[in-house]
Structure 1
Amino acid sequence: MFGKYAQSAKVGFTTALVISACVVDSVTIAYDGSVMGSVNVMPSYKKYFEISTATKAVNSTATGLGAIMMAPFAGFIVDKFGRRQGLFAGAQNLAMFIAGRMVIGIGMGLAQASAASYVSETTAPRLRALALGLYYTCWAVGGILATGISYACTSLEPSDWAWRVPSLFQGFAPLFIVLLMPFLPESPRWLVAQDRFDEALRVIARVNGSTIDDPIVQVQYREIIDTLNYEKTEGKSIAFAEIVRNAPNRRRVMLALSIAPVTMLTGSNVITYYYGDMLSQAGITSSKTQMVINLILSAWQFVIALTGSFLAERLGRWFLCLSSLGSCTIMFYIVGALTSAYGHTSYMPGVEGTVAAVFLFLGAYSFGLTPLTQMYPPEVLSYNIRATGMAMVTIANKACGIFVTMVFPYLFKSIGWKTYMVNASWNVLFVIWVYFCWVETKGRTLEEIDELFDGEKHSDAPNLSQVAGASEKIVETQVEKI
């Protein structure tokens, strides 16, 4: 009985180690977005750069452009040198903040292609959803850090250091990955693909907190070997060619890419980058008050996203997405209506109601869409197209982000509160898409998910749930005897 607790401790430690490295990627991305939202409302920043609608958009999109430049090459690098090395290389680029925001974006493009693949392939199946959910849930941590540091630095106004200090802090977080690298296991799938079978078996045992003789470990090992052998036999040598080779792969990529508009164009990015404009329209014009609200928003998002991550395996990805997306759509209509009615008045109940609606919108978004951002794509992609597919997802994410940051300033300027109504209306189309097209991946290993697309499992090994169920019955019988 005590052995079971020891096993859980081992699993938890290894999983925490894997997640802690990848979370830096999420925190850094969030810090970038949130710090831009904070410095955009600083008087010294506006004066120094003579900020206009165009320059605000360009400054906000610089890292996205860098990530898009890197993403086409990221899949090849990650497949060639390993998921872990992709994280390391990305961290080195991210730490070079002084070279400019576009270099940060290049590091993000490489890190994002490797991080989700790494986490999905290097965690125990029963913890995969939680691990991937936490990966992007910690986006809120970056937001809290950025807003907290920016708020503290407002006391430096009118000095330029009020916006320079928050910007400089962006280079420190990725150094954490460099320190962790010697202790991180490599993806067992990548090791098998390189014919390093013994190492792969040991890693699988490690992430499950068990020994190589454990039936749970052996089933996962057999599934990985059989599936990768099938992919090597049936697949092409070029990953991009493999993506479009057959209908199942095209469907995999289509579902993976759908996460970009579903999560990036739902309305959250509007608040992330332009919450200052939103709050000003709602009647809250003080930059300090806006930062306090943003700090509270980040903490609120983190708690709700954490809840969604823990419930993802129980509720399922399909339900999690639909409940979150549907609630977001309703709340954005309400934000638009309240902004229309009270955005240019001093009627405090109306202003407070608008802020409350923003809180509820971000809570709904954080519950499902935040965890799913990096959870769903690597699950639906098979191994031979996972790294390249995740690179494509990164491009789609950044492209959607650039669309928001370039287009929405002009929408706010031209049609004001109606922007929320337009955004909420296309969210309805996302709800319809997810309802009819998404597949449910809960309760399956990455190799067992292939059956949902190919119509068959590419391994003779029994499903992990069957073996796990049998093992639990044996343990329960032994405990009853004791």
Structure 2
Amino acid sequence: MPIPEWTIADFIHHGPWWRNKSILLLNLYLVLPLLSAATNGLDSSMLNGLQILPGWQDYFHTPTSKTLGLVNAANCIGALVGIPITPIFSDLVGRRMTLFMGGVIMLAGIIMQAMASTVYIFIGARIIGECGFGMAFTVNAAPLLISELAYPTQRGKLSSLFNTMWYFGSIVSAWICLGAYDRAGATVWSWRAPVLVQLVIPTLQISLIWLTPESPRYLVSKGLESQAARILAKYHSTSNDERDPLVVFEMAQIRHALKLEKEISSGTSYWTCFSTAGNRKRMTVIFAIALFSQWSGNGLVSYYINMVLNGVGITSTRTKAAINGGLQVFNLASAICGALLVDKLGRRKVFLVSNIGMLIAFSMWTLTTALFDVSQNAAAAKATVPLIFLYYFFYDFAYTPMLISYTLEILPYKIRARGFAIMNFTVYAAVAFNQFVNPWALEALGWRYYLVYCGWLVLELLFIMVYIIETRGRTLEETAALFDGEKGPQEIEEKGGEAATMTMNQLTSRTGKREKGLAEEEYFELQEGSGFHLPSTRPPSQMDSQSEESAIALSV
């Protein structure tokens, strides 16, 4: 394989990203799709807070366990209906339009939810709105837009931060419910006011989404290469020039990746996600981590904190609300920690640390819950709360930032929207199952139900050890091709490097200058960090084609 003399490490921005106006502006625009996860967290955790409020319980006549399970599962029902069709819209009309459509549907559902007069209208509104059918559109389109539009050195962190923003919404929800309880007491506005707060983010999105550029990958797939190049030139290049070597490099990789995908599989349907050996490997991993994200014991606190705290003798409404609010703040900090370390530690190590830590912490949590249940041990009850926090640190370290990020990385463009929809469908199906089963199982089995999750966490750890591969140090196109053998990633690297080299040769032939210095030195450091080593016999001026993310450390 010819070795391109110039690589992406020579063209990316060096230094803090906020000092580059183009990257700064792009990241500000990407805050808008990032808020989709905050919307999801706001609604999901809203039920936690509402169930604690006496005003909500009284207004809906203290729902039974079965009705409570239906209330909690309502959003999953709506999402499960919407998820299969959302990729069609994402691929047909674009990521931005799909996000806009989801925002409009969510607004209607939120208003209906706030005005609900019976628990069944409340359930119907949740099926339509914030975390239901409407959310299916935004949750599919927003992460796709972020991962396909972000600056090369920012993609890993931004896509990891997407799911992390869930906790931002969760924090707002928990503390709004606490504030509403303090101000409105047991009145209907103690729960209606928090519900109406959910109008803010969808309103911002449908109003401002058109300021955010469309995905260049989507535009190239539709034959709109000139538009894609203009977007890349404006937000990825410091010169705003479509002939900029970085723009040329990215466009060459996108074109070639789409060409390879077409050669491997000509069709585009849900069946395509399973039509090749590489795709089946991808979907096996995606199914697994989607299930792990919901069946690791986290669902016990996420939706039934009231029952969990009652189980260890904590019955005060205000104490429960304060613990819930504090946990969300802690979760956000833990998830951000994991998101910021995915490029330094690598994806596989992050998953391993998370699963080992969860197994240990959850086992200890099970023990303290059993001790309190059997002997009313006060010390065990006090120890349970910090153990819940410890468990969530390890859960958030990987499964909050990496669930979406890792899924999008390993999926090629042609099946990215559909494969991502399958992941979301699996998550919502697992959540729906948990929401029906968990309250009944907790009532029937008590602490013994925790033992089921202990066993499951052992199986999770074994799967992660065997099947999760490292993706650090590659572009979006190179990473997606990993499951199709060595030829795909090598060809994609070669095409990008050759295109950049030709561009630089044209420029240097006119100027007579070749300035590599610092970039070359940093490039070799990056090769070592990503596990790639150059043969000692190779002249130092020769460099292998390398990826966008191999240069991530340069701008952090």
Partner of 2:187: helix, strand, or coil? coil
Partner of 2:150: helix, strand, or coil? coil
8 Å Cα contact 1:42-1:287 kept in structure 2: yes
8 Å Cα contact 1:283-1:343 kept in structure 2: no
The match for 2:150 among 120, 123, 141 is 123
More helix by share: 1
Deviation at 1:416, TM superposition (A): 0.7
**Does 2:323 align with 1:293?**
yes
The match for 2:189 among 143, 152, 161 is 161
The letter of the residue matching 2:329 is: A
What residue in structure 2 maps to residue 133 of structure 1?
Answer: 160
What residue in structure 2 maps to residue 179 of structure 1?
Answer: 207
Alpha-carbon displacement from aligned partner over 1:347-378 (angstroms, at most 9, x marks no partner): 54322210000010111111111101211111
**Does 2:394 align with 1:364?**
yes
Check 1:263–1:201 CA distance in 2 against 1; reply closer, same or farther (3 A cut): same
What residue in structure 1 maps to residue 45 of structure 2?
Answer: 34
What residue in structure 1 maps to residue 438 of structure 2?
Answer: 408
What residue in structure 2 maps to residue 112 of structure 1?
Answer: 139
8 Å Cα contact 2:86-2:137 kept in structure 1: yes
The letter of the residue matching 2:135 is: M
The match for 2:72 among 56, 60, 71 is 60
The match for 2:288 among 252, 258, 261 is 258
Deviation at 1:463, TM superposition (A): 5.8
What residue in structure 2 maps to residue 461 of structure 1?
Answer: 495
Q: Equivalents in 2 of 1:34, 1:424: separation in Å?
A: 24
What residue in structure 1 maps to residue 517 of structure 2?
Answer: 474
**What is the percent sequence identity of the aligned residues?**
28
Deviation at 1:297, TM superposition (A): 0.7
Deviation at 1:238, TM superposition (A): 3.2
8 Å Cα contact 2:237-2:247 kept in structure 1: no
Partner of 1:95: helix, strand, or coil? helix
Check 1:394–1:476 CA distance in 2 against 1; reply closer, same or farther (3 A cut): closer
What residue in structure 1 maps to residue 426 of structure 2?
Answer: 396
Tell me whether 366-375 or 201-210 shows the greater mean CA deviation.
201-210
Measured on the aligned residues, the alpha-carbon RMSD in Å equals: 2.4
Check 1:450–1:477 CA distance in 2 against 1; reply closer, same or farther (3 A cut): closer
The match for 1:273 among 282, 285, 303 is 303
Please identify the structure whose Cα radius of gyration is greater.
2
8 Å Cα contact 2:30-2:212 kept in structure 1: no
Check 1:10–1:259 CA distance in 2 against 1; reply closer, same or farther (3 A cut): farther
Alpha-carbon displacement from aligned partner over 1:264-299 (angstroms, at most 9, x marks no partner): 111222211111111111111011110101111111
The letter of the residue matching 2:98 is: G
Deviation at 1:473, TM superposition (A): 4.5
The match for 1:201 among 212, 223, 229 is 229
Alpha-carbon displacement from aligned partner over 1:109-158 (angstroms, at most 9, x marks no partner): 11111122111111123211100111111111111111111001113232
Partner of 2:201: helix, strand, or coil? coil
**With structure 1 as the length reference, what TM-score do the two structures score?**
0.93
The letter of the residue matching 1:132 is: S
What residue in structure 1 maps to residue 368 of structure 2?
Answer: 338
Q: Equivalents in 1 of 2:195, 2:101: separation in Å?
A: 21
The letter of the residue matching 2:145 is: Y
The letter of the residue matching 1:168 is: L
**Does 2:102 align with 1:102?**
no
Partner of 2:186: helix, strand, or coil? coil
Task: Please list every run of 5 or more consecutive structure 2 residues that lacks an aligned counterpart in the other structure.
Answer: 1-12, 113-124, 505-513, 523-556
Check 1:256–1:473 CA distance in 2 against 1; reply closer, same or farther (3 A cut): farther
Check 1:63–1:477 CA distance in 2 against 1; reply closer, same or farther (3 A cut): closer
The letter of the residue matching 1:325 is: N
**With structure 2 as the length reference, what TM-score do the two structures score?**
0.81
Q: Equivalents in 1 of 2:57, 2:306: separation in Å?
A: 13
For these two proteins, the number of residue pairs brought into alignment is 475
Task: Please list every run of 5 or more consecutive structure 1 residues that lacks an aligned counterpart in the other structure.
Answer: none
Partner of 2:303: helix, strand, or coil? helix
Q: Equivalents in 1 of 2:496, 2:219: separation in Å?
A: 22
Q: Equivalents in 1 of 2:336, 2:515: separation in Å?
A: 28
What residue in structure 1 maps to residue 535 of structure 2?
Answer: none
Q: Equivalents in 2 of 1:337, 1:349: separation in Å?
A: 12
The match for 1:84 among 92, 96, 118 is 96
Q: Equivalents in 1 of 2:218, 2:339: separation in Å?
A: 26
